């Protein structure tokens, strides 16, 4: 008989898909905030990013790159691009404030950077268009 650990570990591919989908859904919200002021606008005035600025391009990548990762389409290259975007965001916006991410506000940027880097290596996995196209 299988142990509880063995039975639970058999669900790892599906849980990685759930992680990809939920993380991408949350990531998309950072982009829609910048582009469409949805579900809220950017601080301090609840506005949107000016067209063709660096923050606007970040919003485009977050919204549409996040959507591609969420549905699992072109996951490896898109996740690699998003990982780099988050590295740039961290070093431009947070690293100079403090070494500690909890202090400099860069925790989300670092976590997304390494999460997307992982998916760029691992691929989308279960419940993805990438997987359906392989078959």
Q: What is the pLDDT of residues 52-91, one digit of tens each?
A: 999 999 999 999 999 999 999 999 999 999 999 999 999 9
Mean pLDDT of 6-24: 94
Instruction: Give dist(CA 72, CA 51) in Å, integer.
Output: 28
| Contact between residue 32 and residue 48 where contact means Cβ atoms under 8 Å apart | no
Mean model confidence pLDDT for the chain: 96
As a whole-number percent, the residues of the chain with pLDDT over 70 amount to: 99
Whether the predicted model's global pTM rises above the 0.85 cut: yes
C-alpha 33: how far from chain center: 14
* Residue 123: per-residue pLDDT: 97
Q: What is the pLDDT of residue 135?
A: 78
Instruction: Assign residue 53 a region (left: φ > 0; alpha: ψ between -120 and 50; beta: otherwise).
Output: beta
| Residue 42 pLDDT greater than 70, yes or no | yes
Q: What pLDDT, on a 0 to 100 scale, did the predictor assign at position 2? A: 75
pLDDT band, residue 6 (cuts 50/70/90): confident
- Residue 1, pLDDT > 60, answer no
Positive/negative CA dihedral, 84, 135, 64, 119: negative
């Amino acid at each position: 008989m299988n142990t509880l650990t063995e039975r639970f570990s058999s669900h790892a591919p599906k849980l990685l898909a759930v992680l990809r989908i939920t993380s991408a859904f949350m990531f998309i919200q950072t982009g829609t905030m910048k582009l469409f002021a949805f579900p809220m606008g950017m601080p301090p005035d609840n506005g949107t990013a000016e067209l063709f600025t660096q923050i606007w391009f970040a919003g485009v990548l977050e919204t549409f790159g996040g959507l591609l990762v969420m549905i699992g389409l072109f996951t490896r290259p898109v996740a690699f691009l998003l990982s780099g975007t988050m590295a740039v965001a961290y070093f431009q916006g947070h690293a100079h404030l403090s070494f500690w991410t909890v202090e400099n506000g860069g925790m989300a940027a670092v976590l997304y950077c390494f999460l997307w880097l992982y998916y760029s290596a691992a691929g989308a996995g279960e419940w993805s268009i990438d997987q359906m196209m392989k078959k």
